[in-house]
Structure 1
Amino acid sequence: MTTAMAGDRADARRNRAKVLAAAADAMAEQGLDVPLGEIARRAGVGAGTVYRHFPSKQALLEAVFARHLEDLVASGERLAARCAPTEAFFGFLLDIVELSSRRGHICDVVVADTSWPRPGLTAARLRFRQVLAALLQAAQRAGGVRADVAPEDVAALAAGCVSMLGARRDRPAGLKLVRLTLDGLRPSASVTEGRSFRDSPDVRCEECGSALTVRPTGRPVRYCGATCRQRAHRRRLAG
């Protein structure tokens, strides 16, 4: 390979990276309808350069989302190398939520449209899931995350947190809610175990004192059955 050819390829890589960065910022600010000419202007390249790398808006969207996932993978790998397992796992989730909330338009359209071939996006999503699963399993082995949580549970919870943060104008308040939500993954959180999910009052039969099951709708339960109801009725008549 000649020096000129190597230089041309290096320029092409730099231009592609500029277009991806400009597209991500422009779409986050202006939505998915931002013209490719505006993206080219932000990137400091000609429109022909954009079309040479990305022949359609769909191809550009896919590449932007794949790049986003690759950035998250790199973040997860750094955290795994530098932090304790539990700290790395929750740090990764916060990175997912904070970074993805700024790319909501792109994430929504790429995830929703299953008709795209997107081989590059498929590979990026697979790598992302692998890193997420590895961090989750390490945190579970360390005792920092509930054992009954699967990678798909974490992915769904993170997606919900992205939507929640994106809907809040007060970002610090939104991040507080995100942290409270993610705390439900810790072993001490038992809100999904049995009847403790609802803080129901201790309701008992007015006649015999037996514990009653509280119904979510309808009239409040007062007696455990027909026998106690009749006894109470007879006492009221006698009184």
Structure 2
Amino acid sequence: MTATRADALENRKLVLRAAAQLFAAEGLDVPLGRVAQRAGVGAGTVYRHFPSKTVLVEAVFAQHLDDLVSAADRWAAQATPDDALFGFLFEVIEKCARGKHLCDALVADRSWPHATFAAAARRFGEALDRLLHNAKHAGSVDVNLRVDDLNALIAGGATLRSAHPSPARGTRLVWQVLDSLRRPGVTKGVGLRDAEHPETCAACGSPLRVKKAGRPAVYCSPACRQRARRRRLMN
């Protein structure tokens, strides 16, 4: 790969990241000039990669879903089938709650899905279906549970999480809803130690190592702690 090509790919990533942050925080009316400023590139760079606002918005939506697909694969590789399903659902709900402007815009605009977003949505649905299939095969959830049930649960859970005045209590309620889907007798692995500290990393959603003493962990690594700090500073 040439240096020019590598620079172009890096600039595209910077623009996507900046747009996702601004759209999630403020909605889709953010002008492209602010996106360029946040990304640290010129306006011409934004337009070279994304000729219109619609193209940029679709790319942000698609990247968000592809990131979730990667998260689903990570959960499948690192956790038991039931913990993988419920840990992933919680991660998706948390990310949707933080990016409520994006989720609301997607639901409100009936012109979606466009081709790029539709392909990403299909990949997300397939990843969710794999986790659900594994959990059913392990006997962790009802065999009649469907992907569209889980999509509705994600939407409702995100609304609950973002609407509750107490983040800790909102988190607890979300986990209680998720845990209600487990079949009786299934041991709860990923869950809450207390209202403020779910057993998943607050930055990436990975399972946390349970500490025998001291304050419960919030992040799985120093890198995730720094990532969360940068996110707070930028928003």
Task: Sort the TM-score into its range (normalised by shorter chain).
Answer: 0.7 to 0.9
Q: What are the within-5 Å matches in structure 2 for residues 108-123 of structure 1?
A: 108-116=104-112, 118-123=114-119
Give ranges in structure 1 of 5+ residues lacking alignment: 190-239
Which amino acid counterpart does residue 141 of structure 2 have in structure 1?
V
Aligned Cα RMSD in Å? Answer: 1.6
| Alpha-carbon distance, 1:22 to partner | 0.5
| Alpha-carbon distance, 1:95 to partner | 0.9
TM-score by length of 2: 0.74
| Alpha-carbon distance, 1:58 to partner | 1.6
The answer as to 2:62 corresponding to 1:60 is no
8 Å Cα contact 1:63/1:121 also seen in 2: yes
The answer as to 2:91 corresponding to 1:79 is no
Q: Partners of 1:74 and 1:53 in 2: how far apart? A: 23
SS in 1 for 2:180: helix
Q: What residue number does 2:169 align with?
A: 173
Q: Partners of 1:91 and 1:8 in 2: how far apart? A: 40
Structure with larger RCO (C-alpha < 8 A, sep 6+): 2
Select the structure of larger CA radius of gyration. 1
8 Å Cα contact 2:25/2:101 also seen in 1: no
The answer as to 2:155 corresponding to 1:159 is yes
Deviations 1:192-214 (A, max 9, x none): xxxxxxxxxxxxxxxxxxxxxxx
What is the aligned-residue identity percentage?
49
8 Å Cα contact 2:24/2:99 also seen in 1: yes
Give ranges in structure 2 of 5+ residues lacking alignment: 186-235
Q: What residue number does 1:105 align with?
A: 101
8 Å Cα contact 1:62/1:110 also seen in 2: no
SS in 2 for 1:185: coil
The answer as to 2:89 corresponding to 1:93 is yes
**1:187 to 1:64, Cα distance in 2 relative to 1, 3 A:** same
Q: What residue number does 1:43 align with?
A: 39
Which amino acid counterpart does residue 172 of structure 2 have in structure 1?
K
Q: What residue number does 1:234 align with?
A: none
| Alpha-carbon distance, 1:117 to partner | 6.2
8 Å Cα contact 1:129/1:151 also seen in 2: yes
Q: Partners of 1:110 and 1:8 in 2: how far apart? A: 34
TM-score by length of 1: 0.73
Q: What are the within-5 Å matches in structure 2 for residues 130-209 of structure 1?
A: 130-188=126-184
Matched residues, number: 185
